[in-house]
Amino acid sequence: MDQRDKAILQALQNDATTTVGELAEQTGLSKSACWRRIQQLEELGIIGARVTLLNQEALGLNLTVYTAVKTHEHTRSWFDRFHAVTTSMPNVMEVHRMSGDVDYLIRAVVPDMKSYDNMYKEMISKVNLFDVSSSFSMETIKYTTALPLDYL
Q: Taking 90 as the threshold, does the pLDDT of residue 68 lie above it?
A: yes
Query: 124-143, pLDDT tens digit by residue?
Result: 999 999 999 999 999 999 99
Q: Please give the domain boundaries of the chain with CATH numbers for all domains.
A: 3-43 (1.10.10.10), 57-136 (3.30.70.920)
Tens-digit pLDDT profile for residues 35-58: 999 999 999 999 999 999 999 999
Walk across the sheet containing 131-136 and list its strands.
92-97, 104-110, 63-70, 131-136
**84-88 CB contacts, 8 Å cutoff, 24+ apart:** 85/123, 85/126, 85/127, 86/123
**pTM, to two decimals:** 0.89
The pLDDT of residue 103 is 98
The pLDDT of residue 152 is 84
- What is the C-alpha separation between 149 and 132, in angstroms, rounded? 35
Does residue 112 surpass a pLDDT of 90? yes
